[in-house]
């Protein structure tokens, strides 16, 4: 009795529990050994098939390309440019008014301001020391003859306008960099 | 500097790093393409389906266990895609004229190898899709009968009969006396 095709296939695929039995038969049966040899030859043929080189690089299709980076919509770019232009025009137009306004505001120099603050701080510390030495006396904050400079409300418009311009220009610059 | 492991690339790709998935594709694209080429015997279709396999894998990457090997998994994704493709198309697909080439051999040997490889590919391409897929999974992806049955959702008996009949057909075509 010869081995079936199924048993020979299972033997070569290492999918049989009766390996020893099949090998014993193969030793004694030339016909089954020849069939096994034919099947092994087919396995060898299939194993010999070489890999083929890929002509296209599939990986490149999964890499980000500049063209795939999201571009801001055209209207946004245009709006940003118009904003920047409007802000610059406003600054140029407002510049003479700002200079007049600045001349009207009495602001001490930076050095004077620092000196005033230092004096106030020293007096405050002295008052605290006096309080610690004699806590019975009523504590009073020191009063100085140096009033702190109070800026006019209109003066706030100047830094506000400058900050706005920097913000608009900065945004435009960032958008340009993103486009690149 | 050592190259990152597939596992690290998978984790990075899951976080949305396209470059990491690109690197993963670069590592496995030739193997995946060859699975498709053995199944389809058509370079253009094989490239398309190899790319499709990587797209499918990317979609399912969040369900993939990164502790498993990526290579066998992506090859099986490609195999199933090819099987679906073959079953959806008419049986008379044009076969590639391309021949295999091994540059380490002499021109005479190269011609022999090309001819034999072409015979094997043509024989594989002549098999019904279900037979072709079990040959691919058994011979080129080293899956056991049980694993093939699980992969194709087929009874074990069908896997065996497909495989043994496929081998018989291949032997008839390849070992037939001239």
Q: Same domain for B69 and B139?
A: no
Asked if B34's CB is within 8 angstroms of A63's CB, the reply is no
Average pLDDT over residues B20-47: 94
Q: Same domain for B46 and B116?
A: no
CA B13 vs CA B9, B10, B32: distances in Å: 6, 5, 19
Q: Which of A35, A59, A61 to mutate to test the interface with B (most CBs of B within 10 A)?
A: A59
| A70 CA: distance to closest CA in chain B (Å) | 15
- Of the candidates A69, A136, A146, the one whose C-alpha atom is nearest the C-alpha of residue A112 is A146
CA B114 vs CA A53, B162, B173, B174: distances in Å: 14, 28, 17, 14
Name the residue range of residue B147's domain: 101-178
For chain B, what is the mean pLDDT? 88
Domain extents in chain A: 5-50, 66-179
Sign of the CA dihedral B41, B49, B148, B129? negative
Average pLDDT over residues B101-130: 81
Distance CA B137, CA A22 (A): 25
B78 by Cβ neighbours in 10 Å (0-12 / 13-18 / 19+) ranks as buried
For chain A, what is the mean pLDDT? 80
A40 part of contact set with chain B, CB < 8 Å: no
Higher pLDDT, A155 or B171: B171
Higher pLDDT, B94 or A6: A6
Q: Same domain for B84 and B33?
A: yes
Ranges A21-30, A88-97, A154-163, B136-145: which has the least confidence: A154-163
Asked if B167's CB is within 8 angstroms of A9's CB, the reply is yes
Distance CA A87, CA A84 (A): 5
pLDDT the model gives residue A180: 44
Average pLDDT over residues B12-35: 92
pLDDT the model gives residue A115: 87
pLDDT the model gives residue B57: 94
- Of the candidates B1, B2, B34, B27, the one whose C-alpha atom is nearest the C-alpha of residue B13 is B27
Contact residues, chain A, for B145 at CB < 8 Å: 13, 15
Q: At residue A179, does pLDDT exceed 80?
A: no
Q: At residue B122, does pLDDT exceed 80?
A: yes
Average pLDDT over residues A75-86: 81
Q: Same domain for B130 and B67?
A: no
Count of A–B CB contacts within 8 Å? 92
ipTM of the complex: 0.83
Distance CA A173, CA B3 (A): 37
Q: Can you give the pTM of this predicted structure? A: 0.63
Asked if B117's CB is within 8 angstroms of A58's CB, the reply is no
Q: Same domain for B43 and B89?
A: yes
B151: Cβ contacts below 8 Å, ≥ 6 apart: B76, B79, B80, B137, B143
b/e per residue, B142-163, with b = 16+ CB within 10 A?
A: ebebebbbebbebeeeebbebb
- How many CA atoms within 13 Å lie on the side-chain side of A138? 1
B131 part of contact set with chain A, CB < 8 Å: no
Q: Same domain for B64 and B110?
A: no
Number of domains in chain B: 2
Distance CA B132, CA B70 (A): 23
DSSP-based three-state secondary structure for A64: coil
pLDDT the model gives residue A171: 80
A66 part of contact set with chain B, CB < 8 Å: no
Q: At residue A19, does pLDDT exceed 60?
A: yes
Asked if B38's CB is within 8 angstroms of A55's CB, the reply is no
Q: Contact, B120 vs A45, CB < 8 A?
A: yes
Distance CA A63, CA A78 (A): 30
Q: At residue A106, does pLDDT exceed 70?
A: no
Contact residues, chain A, for B77 at CB < 8 Å: none
DSSP-based three-state secondary structure for B143: coil
Residue A68 pLDDT level (bands cut at 50, 70, 90): very low
Distance CA B147, CA B30 (A): 23
Ranges A167-171, B114-118, B152-156: which has the least confidence: A167-171
Q: At residue A71, does pLDDT exceed 80?
A: no
Closest residue in chain A to residue B140, using alpha carbons only: A47
Distance CA A119, CA A124 (A): 9
Which of B68, B94, B120 corresponds to the end of one domain?
Answer: B94
Asked if A54's CB is within 8 angstroms of B33's CB, the reply is yes
E strand or H helix that includes residue A95 = helix A74-104
Q: Same domain for B171 and B137?
A: yes
Which of B94, B112, B143 corresponds to the end of one domain?
Answer: B94
pLDDT the model gives residue A67: 47
DSSP-based three-state secondary structure for A103: helix
Average pLDDT over residues B155-162: 96
Contact residues, chain A, for B18 at CB < 8 Å: 62-64
pLDDT the model gives residue A152: 60
Which CATH number do you get for residue B123? 1.10.10.10
Which of B94, B114, B142 corresponds to the end of one domain?
Answer: B94
b/e per residue, B32-65, with b = 16+ CB within 10 A?
A: bbbbbbbbbbbbebbbbbbbbbbebbbeebeebe
pLDDT the model gives residue A135: 67
Q: Contact, B42 vs B95, CB < 8 A?
A: yes
Q: At residue A56, does pLDDT exceed 90?
A: no
Q: pLDDT tens digit string along A22-45?
A: 999 999 999 999 999 999 999 999
Contact residues, chain B, for A52 at CB < 8 Å: 33-34, 37, 43, 98, 100
Asked if B21's CB is within 8 angstroms of A13's CB, the reply is no
CA B166 vs CA A35, B97, B102, B135: distances in Å: 16, 23, 27, 7
pLDDT the model gives residue B42: 92
- Number of helices (H), then strands (E), belonging to chain B: the values are 8, 0
pLDDT the model gives residue A154: 64
| Range from A29-33, A162-166, B16-20, B174-178 that averages highest in pLDDT | A29-33
Q: Looking at chain B from residue 65 to 124, which residues have their Cβ under 8 Å from any Cβ of chain A?
A: 98, 100, 102, 113, 116-117, 120-121
Which of A6, A53, A62 has its CB closest to that of B164?
A: A6
pLDDT the model gives residue B148: 96
Q: At residue B40, does pLDDT exceed 50?
A: yes
A28 part of contact set with chain B, CB < 8 Å: no
Q: Which of B164, B166, B175, B177 to mutate to test the interface with A (most CBs of A within 10 A)?
A: B164
Q: pLDDT tens digit string along B58-67?
A: 999 999 998 8
| Backbone phi, psi, residue A54, to 5° | -85, 130
Average pLDDT over residues A142-167: 69
- Of the candidates B17, B171, B81, B70, the one whose C-alpha atom is nearest the C-alpha of residue A5 is B171
């Amino acid at each position: 009795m010869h081995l079936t095709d199924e048993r020979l296939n299972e033997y070569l695929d290492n999918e049989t529990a009766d390996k020893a039995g099949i090998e014993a038969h193969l030793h004694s049966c030339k016909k089954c050994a020849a069939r096994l040899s034919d099947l092994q030859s087919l396995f060898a043929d299939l194993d010999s098939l070489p890999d083929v080189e890929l002509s296209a690089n599939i990986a490149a299709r999964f890499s980000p390309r500049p063209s795939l980076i999201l571009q801001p919509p055209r209207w946004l770019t245009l709006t940003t440019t118009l904003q920047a232009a409007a802000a610059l025009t406003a600054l140029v137009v407002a510049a003479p008014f700002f200079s007049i306004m600045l001349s009207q505001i009495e602001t001490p120099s930076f050095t004077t301001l620092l000196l005033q603050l230092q004096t106030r701080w020293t007096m405050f510390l002295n008052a605290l020391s006096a309080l610690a030495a004699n806590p019975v006396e009523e504590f009073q904050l020191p009063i100085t003859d140096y009033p702190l400079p109070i800026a006019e409300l209109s003066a706030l418009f100047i830094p506000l306008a400058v900050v706005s311009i920097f913000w608009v220009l900065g945004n435009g610059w960032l958008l340009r960099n993103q486009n690149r | 500097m050592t190259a990152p492991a597939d596992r690290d690339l998978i984790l990075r790709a899951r976080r949305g790093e396209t470059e990491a998935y690109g690197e993963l594709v670069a590592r496995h694209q030739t193997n995946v393409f060859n699975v498709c080429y053995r199944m389809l015997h058509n370079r253009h279709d094989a490239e398309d389906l190899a790319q499709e396999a990587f797209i499918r894998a990317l979609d399912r990457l969040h369900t993939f266990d990164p502790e498993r090997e990526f290579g066998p998994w992506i090859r099986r994704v490609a195999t199933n895609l090819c099987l679906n493709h073959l079953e959806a198309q008419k049986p008379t697909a044009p076969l590639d004229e391309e021949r295999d080439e091994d540059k380490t051999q002499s021109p005479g040997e190269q011609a022999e190898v090309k001819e034999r490889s072409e015979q094997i590919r043509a024989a594989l391409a002549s098999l019904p899709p279900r037979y072709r897929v079990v040959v691919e999974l058994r011979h080129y992806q080293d899956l056991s009968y049980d694993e093939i049955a699980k992969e194709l959702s087929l009874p074990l008996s069908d896997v065996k009969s497909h495989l043994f009949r496929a081998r018989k057909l291949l032997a008839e075509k390849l070992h037939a006396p001239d």
